[in-house]
Structure 1
Amino acid sequence: MTSLLSRLRHHLARTRLLGEPGVALLAVSGGADSVALLDLLHALAPELGLSPVVAHVDHGIRPDSGTVARAVGELAERYELPFEVGELSLGPGATETVARRARYGWLGEVQRRHGARYLVTAHHRDDQVETILLRLLKGSAPAGLAGIPARGRGGLVRPLLPFPKARLVAHVAELGLPVHDDPANHDPRHLRSWVRTALLPLVAKRLGARAGDDVLRAGRAAARERRAWDGVLDHLPDLGLQVEPHRIEVARGALARYDDVLSAVLLRAAARRAGLVLGVRRARQLVALARRPSGRRLSLADGWMAEVAFDRLRATRAGREAAVEVVPTGERGSAVFGEFRVAWTPDPAPARLPRADWTTWIVGANWEVRPPRPGDRLVPLGGIGRRPLRRMLMEARVPRGDRPGYPVVARGETILWVPGICRSADDLPRPGTRAVRVDVTKHGEPQADGRA
């Protein structure tokens, strides 16, 4: 029989799941599957160019959790690998969902701290079968029946999905490696444990040992369908799909030309590109939202908010950088203002200041960058009278959700400039005189967004 190590080496060469060198954070619970992961990737690390780091999460749910953490630490020492342990102290009442979110939150922090290219977990074939069945029982749409992907967002990799748990258990037993069997894995009060210990044995008894293979075949078919819908998005230019981290936008007009079922499927496929999981009901609600007036909003799960923004339907996730007031110090410098970067440097004022641009010139000091305030007004360069800033943001088609964090350059109560929208007629520098050049860009973009 081909060894597990050889089979994994072949699997990784074929799929290139770990195809680039770098730091790999290994999530090791102490169970047989994660201990097998640790042993196997430690052996393959030199040829893959990986630098493994062992990470263990002590949820603080069971009284013996500290003992398990020490055992994993000893394993890491045995393999001469760096070790990180997170003590979450969740308490015995913590649910599976709470524990999972806390676990991945901590693992993400450790991954960033180590600059790890990969976060590697030990999900295996049995986990995949259980996941597909659970999603079927909960009424998941076909895309959900695709199960656990081998690759996830943020460098998440699951290299053991093709291998059954029994083979991983046999591997660690052959090596005499210490493992911890969590009693929760056999407690039928947990839904996944009930599927594992009660439902699956009944299915196998009635349908035979191939029942698990049949479930996986259905999952592979669902995964192919999900990939197909993702590919369809690239052949619909009228949809105007834009995807950024924590943001997705589509053209409302294009959605209106499709029937509701097709629109919902396309929205679900588009949302997955941004890491937003939309159920069928939520997708239908978004289709209905797209028909409503600009400014209407719908709260989604996990901090996501959908919004009708003029001719666009968009969804954004909370947690973006807060727009903290910027007070320049020194003649030159730069600072972050929410999603924007502000840079300033001495520069003679030009003969003519543009009215709507992402660069302007300011005379003197004591200016600041701040968010809009209630009652803000300004006199537009070349205009007449004082205009409400709220109205100007709306006319510039700044989405409602972006307006509270939009940059405003002011001196005291006087607004000098609204980047990309309007230069004020107040405090204009004379051509050729000493001034401060101010540039505003969005992170990673040469110019903020082209509204100017």
Structure 2
Amino acid sequence: MDRKVLSYIRDNKLLKSKDKILVALSGGPDSLCLLNILLELRQELDIEIAAAHLNHLLRGADAIGDEEYVIDICNTMGIKCFVRRLDINIYAKEHRLSSEMAGRKARYDFFEEISEKEGFNKIATAHNANDQAETILFRLMRGTGLDGLGGIKASRDGKIIRPILCLSRSEVEGYIELKKLNPRIDKTNFERIYNRNKIRLDILPYMKENFNEDIIDALNRMALLLQKDNEFIENLALSLYNKYCIEDSAYFIIKKEIFIEEEPIATRVLRNALIKYSKSNYDFEMKHIYEIFHLAKKNSGKLIHLPNGIYAENIYGDIYIKSKVEKYHIDNKIEDIILEKNNINTNEIILDNFIVKFEVITDYEMSQIISNQNKFTKYFDFDKIKNNISMRNRRNGDKIIPLGMTGNKKVKDIFIDMKIPKDERDSIPILCFDNKIAWIIGIKISEEYKITDKSGNILKVVVERKEY
């Protein structure tokens, strides 16, 4: 059995020399089989092994017994064991998840935490070929796509590995008997109140008896074929994701051009954007993807709410993925702040989120001035300012002569042209010199106060995010 697993590990490049493996150990037959096989292969693979167990506190004394058993097994085998207790019912309510989803999230969060703290680079779970078949049927009945029908992959994100996915449950049980191991048995696995148990106890045995006695192998072969097809399509989707999606710490932008691409590719691009932004693989269904398709056909300003605390908004045809709890404007609404020109070197303007700093420069090189400018660092001709410098939000009728132009343009039209969301426009600070707009912060500067070869004194203005 260990030779079969070794071949599977090598064929799928699951492990390499010096890897540190954290085994998810429940104490049941599958995880005990996985741990023992890895221990038998430890020297040959040149790996380090430890185990982790999360007690969900769902089964009273049985759960405590599982925990104690795992600790004893690890002590006997001479490996480290990390254990944590967590009331999964309370956790599920706090995170508004089903018990099953809460258990999965809590387990993987625990495994990730231990891995980061202790330096493990791989997390091994004990999914087997029967689990694969059950997962495929479970997803099929929920209405999954190609990715879902591909089932469980041998590895995920280069860190989660399933070394015994090649073994059937009967092979696992045979190994347990051969090695005279004594695993813990979770009685809830035989209760038909759970849909997955019904698949395991009723549907698969019925299919095996009446349609195909090798149904487990058949479903696993199908999964491998579909995984290869899906990988090809995903690579196409990745190239379009890089082309049409813009990642920002505050929001993601999905350009409207994606919606003219072939639907199987476009849906994957949208799903990848949702997953990357929300950092969750399990909250989004195809209905959410198609809601975004419909949103793209609506007027600018329309939005839809999505799972995991985010929403999508149509802004001039582009789709912005945002968080419901974050604010994306530069600052909150501010009152007029006025500074005297003569005292500008000793002043700064403090906003809710930003600090605006001023510096008058008398000795400079034009090349350095040009190279040092960026979105939040600008230089102005200080000598053109007569009396004061002020900061405010926009007002009705505001105009500016944009850099490089000769005539005025309404600030409102600039926001429209640059597709600034409506809910952000009133909160973008505006820097004024003598009541004339010099800089729409982060957006546009004025032609009137630009520096030239004839400029004498220069005003440097830097907008910095406040540290908390």
Q: TM-score normalized by structure 1?
A: 0.71
CA distance in 1, matches of 2:206, 2:142: 19
Partner of 2:268: 269
**Equivalent of 1:98 in 74, 99, 102:** 102
**Equivalent of 1:75 in 48, 52, 73:** 73
**Equivalent of 2:221 in 217, 220, 236:** 217
Partner of 1:88: 86
Measured after TM superposition, the shift of residue 407 of structure 1 is 9.7
5 Å-filtered alignment, 1:420-435, equals: 420-422=442-444
User: Secondary structure of 2:146's partner?
Assistant: coil
Measured after TM superposition, the shift of residue 33 of structure 1 is 0.8
Look up the equivalent residue of 1:53 and give its one-letter code.
Answer: A
Measured after TM superposition, the shift of residue 419 of structure 1 is 6.4
More helix by share: 2
CA distance in 1, matches of 2:83, 2:241: 47
Partner of 2:385: none
Q: Which has the larger radius of gyration?
A: 2
Measured after TM superposition, the shift of residue 5 of structure 1 is 1.6
Structure 2 stretches lacking a partner, 5+ long: 93-97, 276-280, 332-351, 380-391, 432-436
1:253-289 deviation line (CA, Å, top 9, x unaligned): 3413x5xxx42x2233224545356533222222111
Partner of 2:299: 293
Measured after TM superposition, the shift of residue 290 of structure 1 is 1.4
Q: For residues 66 and 431 of structure 1, do their structure 2 counterparts lie closer, same or farther at Cα, with a shift above 3 Å needed?
A: farther
Measured after TM superposition, the shift of residue 190 of structure 1 is 0.7
CA distance in 2, matches of 1:157, 1:316: 32
1:32-70 deviation line (CA, Å, top 9, x unaligned): 111122222234344545433311010011102122112
Contact 2:244 2:257 in 1 (8 A): no
Partner of 1:112: 116
Q: For residues 71 and 253 of structure 1, do their structure 2 counterparts lie closer, same or farther at Cα, with a shift above 3 Å needed?
A: same
Measured after TM superposition, the shift of residue 153 of structure 1 is 3.6
Q: Identity across aligned pairs (percent)?
A: 21
Look up the equivalent residue of 1:82 and give its one-letter code.
Answer: K
**Equivalent of 1:27 in 24, 28, 35:** 24
CA distance in 2, matches of 1:46, 1:324: 56
Contact 1:57 1:87 in 2 (8 A): yes
Q: For residues 152 and 407 of structure 1, do their structure 2 counterparts lie closer, same or farther at Cα, with a shift above 3 Å needed?
A: farther
Q: For residues 433 and 417 of structure 1, do their structure 2 counterparts lie closer, same or farther at Cα, with a shift above 3 Å needed?
A: closer
Look up the equivalent residue of 2:70 and give its one-letter code.
Answer: V
Contact 1:248 1:270 in 2 (8 A): no
Whether 1:157 aligns to 2:161 is yes
**Equivalent of 1:178 in 163, 176, 182:** 182
Measured after TM superposition, the shift of residue 241 of structure 1 is 4.5
Whether 1:284 aligns to 2:284 is no
CA distance in 2, matches of 1:431, 1:170: 87
Whether 1:357 aligns to 2:374 is yes
Measured after TM superposition, the shift of residue 245 of structure 1 is 9.4
CA distance in 1, matches of 2:231, 2:442: 38
Structure 1 stretches lacking a partner, 5+ long: 326-336, 363-374, 441-452
Measured after TM superposition, the shift of residue 196 of structure 1 is 0.5
User: Secondary structure of 1:177's partner?
Assistant: coil
Look up the equivalent residue of 2:30 and give its one-letter code.
Answer: D
Whether 1:313 aligns to 2:319 is yes
Whether 1:195 aligns to 2:199 is yes
Q: For residues 299 and 174 of structure 1, do their structure 2 counterparts lie closer, same or farther at Cα, with a shift above 3 Å needed?
A: same
Partner of 1:125: 129
Q: For residues 236 and 190 of structure 1, do their structure 2 counterparts lie closer, same or farther at Cα, with a shift above 3 Å needed?
A: closer
Measured after TM superposition, the shift of residue 207 of structure 1 is 1.6
Look up the equivalent residue of 1:226 and give its one-letter code.
Answer: N
Contact 2:394 2:430 in 1 (8 A): no
Partner of 1:8: 5
Measured after TM superposition, the shift of residue 231 of structure 1 is 3.1
CA distance in 2, matches of 1:250, 1:321: 19
CA distance in 1, matches of 2:87, 2:242: 50
Contact 1:357 1:422 in 2 (8 A): no
CA distance in 2, matches of 1:407, 1:157: 47
CA distance in 2, matches of 1:201, 1:41: 30
